[in-house]
Chains A and B, each alone.
Chain A
Amino acid sequence: MRARLGWWMVFTAAFLFLALGALTLQRDWQMKVPTQNGFKSSSPVDRLLSENEIDPMSGQVLLFSTLVMDEKGLTVALADRRRPFSERAQYAGQLALIGTPSAWRALMNLFLSESPTNQRTLALLLKKVSKKEFGKSLIKIVETANDWDVASAIRALGLLGGENNLMLLSSIVNDRGWPNHLRGEAARALLENGSEDQKRLSIRSMGAIGTEAETATLAKLLHDESQQQSLRIESAIFLGKIASEKAGDELVAAFKEFADEEAQTVLLDSLGHFPFNQIGDTWQTFLDDPSTPLNLRTAAVEALSNSSPDAVPYLMTLAAEDREPDVREMAAWALSMQESSEDLGGKIAAMIPRENEPDVRRRLYEGLLSQKTNPAASLLPTIDAEDDPASRIAGLNVIGDVIGRRASTPEVDQTFKAELVPELRAFALGDSSLNLRMRAVFALRRAGTPEAIEALRIISQSPTKEIATAANNGLNNQPRK
């Protein structure tokens, strides 16, 4: 029994040895097969070279027909799309060796007319054959040729890639001396092939150029979920700057494509640059929707600061009536940024005593400063009762403004002189935030009364450099007689 078991074991071991050895040797043999011409067999160029018998080292095209053709013949053959790409690529190789400007132009046209896969193959082949002369010739075309050829060369350079070529395209995008359509072409080429910084540059430039072609390119990027979100957001910002009807439609459509609040805020901000008659309905629906988060409602209202002046009545309604203090505050601030043909001084002043939130009152005070009339005299009791520092300083700026406009009353003048100037001086020299202290200086400068000037003289000695400088700047103004 033991002897039989021993023989069985020896037999099994021998079998396993032979089987494993054979497998290993076979694998080894496969790995030792040399690749053709020493190139990786997966490269499209080498497949092309292999299939078409081109010597990649010398660039010589071995197909006899190409050797007997002159430049003209090669150009005609190159343009003949009935011929397979592999054959036309051989003509391209031979044409590259001829290397005249017209040969390069013919190659550029072939390059641009091919599919992306063939372009990549062709670019690698030409680079190998011509030792980068293709890129140089394209740059020469960009520098010397007519617009049509330049546009083609720009596209080809983008596809060819390479640091120098892309830098040239960046300089075209940056240089306002170039015609806009060529800058746009360069921007599109960079957007396809450039680095992230170059793509951002392209987006900004396209926003500045702002024709239909640029709008379409930016819109495509905006909707492309495969792109980086930061680039999509950048395109939204610059579509907002273009502010055409088409750009607006694209932004509205994109709003639903972005899930996160940050991106939606940017889109709202961009849309805010559009005329109110184009976005007003969307805005009202959005703000009236009870499911809209507060942050987005606030962002939407803030964005209206950039819309057309016909947004003002809607902003007035929001500032007076919205249920959320943050929204009322932002509407009041947006009003201060708007240029209304109507004088809103009286209406804004009427809203202030009715408003319970000091932050909203502060913005309403700020809104009064840009109005034709400033009924500060009627607001004196309200301002005098303000105990929130920011609201109070904003109110004191309203009083300083009306005094500076010489539209105040004796009561306002007297209160300012006796009570408010000392208060503002103490505030400017106190330990509040730099922002509020600066605004206290502003109130004194707006008023420009002798007492205010004297206060500024004292404040100009403040150890806080910014406050001292702001006070000094006020002293350089003419004191009120």
Chain B
Amino acid sequence: MKTPKSIQPKRPFITALLLLLLTCAWPAVATAATLSWGIAVSPSGSGDITWVISNPTSNGTISTGKLLKPEKWATVDLTFKAKSGFKLVSVLKNGVEVITWLDSNGHYQFGPITSPHGFVAKFELLNPTGTFSGNYVEGAGLTAMADVTGNYNGTTTVNGTARDYNADLAMDESGKITALGTATGIANKAGSPTISGSVGSIKTVADKPTAALKGTFAGSVDGDLTTASGSASGDCVLKTVVADKKLEGVAGGSAVRASQKYTAKSEPRSIVVPPEDVAKLKKDWGLTLTFKEVTPAKGKKYVEVDAKLHLTSGEYSDYPAKKATYSAKNGYSISFTNGLKLNRSEQQIYVKNPKTGLDKLDRKGNKIPVYDKKSTVKITKMLLDQSGSAWTPASGTIQYKFLGQSGKGDLKTFLE
């Protein structure tokens, strides 16, 4: 093993030599005058001040406050730089504004210095503006949301016989699913080939959209009257099944398998949802955030944010602008609930008179908006960077609830 340089034997010579020189130089050190330069950043953490002292040779960065100890006749270089989302508005030297002394890089060299000074650098929070949009992308770290509304058909084996199935599904804003379908040889108790009913819901379990399905059936299979029920769960899948007592085992992914026991014959079967059916799941959704600076008649300027959520159904939830709260520690936080419903053409939906199709009016003669009570979006710890006049999201978290499901993800990734 090679011995590290740091502990090689020649080191003591250098150490001793340094000590010797330091000791010899001591009288000169003792006779020099040390000055105190107090430097503070306000508000703390809003900017950095890089300092370089010529004597004693030293440098560093201040983000809150520090007492520097330069020698008399030394030079002190100070460079002021605002952190992301802030700008430098003032540099006070002993209470006197000196910001105009700084060059375009926020730098000034003081010295040769002869007296102690106090500096305060003031930074001001900038109000970000702009519109930021993001769309769900599979595999980008966001929890998926799934809408199963659509048509599903194919062939599956039920009760030992290959049967064609054809099911139309409607999933509402709470994730509840109603199905209407047919399967060869299966009829309801009235003899109709159409089997219908509530079949379950989609919920988020362990960060995945998961179908919890349950079906009851009273009717006939191949002409034999039967009553059956079954349940299953899996990663966003569905099935039209006639089952009894227990449906065991479900696997997710591109296909779903569920085996079941049939009352009369007790034979194990499995139903596979073809990958092409799973591909019909609608997962696309998007969000647009718009930041605006508001200048009130009295008081400080602040930031308002509005949001528009584009749901998998094609409709929108429009959240009017509201004040975003900011903290130096956590950045911007804002939550949106009870949005106005917009149709697929982004037109606001109002309560209609079902007979006339015209918008209903309230007592004051105003149209009555329809609200989306089931969707929420929450933005936390959002920070933005400014480059020129343009802002870009730098970090943050997005949490969302709609379609009876919930998810979260990295806001920067989502909005990129």
Q: Which of A20, A31, A369 contacts B15 (CB 8 A)?
A: A20
Q: Which of A16, A204, A234 contacts B19 (CB 8 A)?
A: A16
Q: Which of A306, A337, A387, A466 contacts B151 (CB 8 A)?
A: A466
Q: Mark A269-299, 1 if CB is under 8 A from B, else 0.
A: 1000100000000000000000000000000
Q: Are B194 and A477 in contact (CB under 8 A)?
A: yes
Chain A residues whose CB sits within 8 angstroms of the CB of B17 once the complex forms: 13
**Distance, CA A426 to CA B190, complexed state (A):** 29
Chain A residues whose CB sits within 8 angstroms of the CB of B196 once the complex forms: 369, 442, 446
**Distance, CA A366 to CA B198, complexed state (A):** 8
Chain A residues whose CB sits within 8 angstroms of the CB of B315 once the complex forms: 432-433
Q: Are B206 and A234 in contact (CB under 8 A)?
A: yes
Q: Are A233 and B197 in contact (CB under 8 A)?
A: no
Residue ID in chain B nearest A430 by CB atoms: B343
Q: Which of B23, B193, B212, B314 contacts A306 (CB 8 A)?
A: B212
Q: Mark B1-42, 1 if CB is under 8 A from A, else 0.
A: 101000111011101110110011000000000000000000
**Distance, CA A158 to CA B181, complexed state (A):** 46
Chain A nearest CB from B24 CB (Å) reads 7
Known pairs A17-B12, A434-B313; A333 contacts B198 (CB<8 A): yes
Q: Are A269 and B8 in contact (CB under 8 A)?
A: no
**Distance, CA A27 to CA B11, complexed state (A):** 13
Of B94-102, B131-139, B346-354, B380-388, the segment with at least 4 beta carbons within 8 Å of chain A is B346-354
Chain A nearest CB from B5 CB (Å) reads 11
- The answer to whether B229 has its CB under 8 Å from any CB of chain A is yes
Chain B residues whose CB sits within 8 angstroms of the CB of A9 once the complex forms: 20, 23-24
Q: Are A434 and B314 in contact (CB under 8 A)?
A: yes
Q: Which of A366, A384, A469 contacts B178 (CB 8 A)?
A: A366
Q: Are B171 and A32 in contact (CB under 8 A)?
A: no
- The answer to whether B410 has its CB under 8 Å from any CB of chain A is no
Residue ID in chain B nearest A390 by CB atoms: B172
**Distance, CA A32 to CA B8, complexed state (A):** 12
**Distance, CA A66 to CA B1, complexed state (A):** 36
- The answer to whether A439 has its CB under 8 Å from any CB of chain B is yes
Residue ID in chain A nearest B198 by CB atoms: A336
Q: Are A442 and B197 in contact (CB under 8 A)?
A: no
Q: Are B12 and A24 in contact (CB under 8 A)?
A: yes
Q: Are B16 and A204 in contact (CB under 8 A)?
A: no
Chain A nearest CB from B254 CB (Å) reads 16
Residue ID in chain A nearest B179 by CB atoms: A442
Chain B nearest CB from A296 CB (Å) reads 14
Give chain B's interface secondary structure class. Answer: mixed
Chain A residues whose CB sits within 8 angstroms of the CB of B3 once the complex forms: 28, 31-32
**Distance, CA A266 to CA B212, complexed state (A):** 12
Residue ID in chain A nearest B203 by CB atoms: A269
Q: Are A433 and B313 in contact (CB under 8 A)?
A: yes
Chain B nearest CB from A263 CB (Å) reads 10
- The answer to whether A21 has its CB under 8 Å from any CB of chain B is yes
Chain B nearest CB from A280 CB (Å) reads 19
Known pairs A20-B12, A204-B251, A306-B212; A473 contacts B192 (CB<8 A): no
Known pairs A28-B3, A473-B166; A16 contacts B212 (CB<8 A): no
Among B13, B212, B343, max chain A CB count under 10 A is at: B212
Among B205, B354, B370, max chain A CB count under 10 A is at: B354
Q: Are A423 and B354 in contact (CB under 8 A)?
A: yes
- The answer to whether B248 has its CB under 8 Å from any CB of chain A is yes
Chain A residues whose CB sits within 8 angstroms of the CB of B15 once the complex forms: 16-17, 20
Chain B residues whose CB sits within 8 angstroms of the CB of A25 once the complex forms: 9
Known pairs A28-B3, A306-B214, A435-B313; A445 contacts B194 (CB<8 A): yes
Q: Are B200 and A466 in contact (CB under 8 A)?
A: no
Residue ID in chain B nearest A423 by CB atoms: B354
A435-481 interface (Cβ within 8 A of B):
435-436, 438-439, 441-442, 445-446, 465-466, 469-470, 473, 476-477
**Distance, CA A442 to CA B233, complexed state (A):** 25
**Distance, CA A20 to CA B233, complexed state (A):** 71
Q: Are A17 and B314 in contact (CB under 8 A)?
A: no
Q: Are B173 and A435 in contact (CB under 8 A)?
A: yes
Chain A residues whose CB sits within 8 angstroms of the CB of B205 once the complex forms: 233, 237, 266, 269
- The answer to whether A404 has its CB under 8 Å from any CB of chain B is yes
Chain B residues whose CB sits within 8 angstroms of the CB of A17 once the complex forms: 12-13, 15-16
Chain A residues whose CB sits within 8 angstroms of the CB of B170 once the complex forms: 434-436, 438-439, 442
**Distance, CA A208 to CA B248, complexed state (A):** 6
- The answer to whether B180 has its CB under 8 Å from any CB of chain A is yes
Q: Mark B226-249, 1 if CB is under 8 A from A, else 0.
A: 000101010000000000000011
Residues of B near any A CB (own CB < 8 A): 1, 3, 7-9, 11-13, 15-17, 19-20, 23-24, 147, 149-151, 166, 168-173, 176, 178, 180-182, 190, 192-194, 196-198, 200-201, 203, 205-207, 212, 214, 216, 229, 231, 233, 248-251, 311, 313-315, 343-345, 347, 349, 351-355, 357, 360, 370, 373, 406
A-B complex: 7 closest residue pairs judged by Cβ atoms? A20-B12, A438-B170, A21-B12, A433-B313, A17-B16, A339-B216, A470-B168
With A434-B313, A466-B151 already in contact, 9 other A-B pairs whose C-beta atoms are closer than 8 Å:
A17-B15, A20-B12, A32-B3, A204-B250, A204-B251, A233-B206, A370-B198, A404-B192, A435-B171
Residues of A near any B CB (own CB < 8 A): 9, 12-14, 16-18, 20-21, 24-25, 27-28, 31-32, 204-205, 208, 230, 233-234, 237, 241, 262, 266, 269, 273, 302, 305-306, 333, 336-337, 339, 359, 366, 369-370, 384, 386-390, 392, 404-405, 419, 423, 426, 431-436, 438-439, 441-442, 445-446, 465-466, 469-470, 473, 476-477
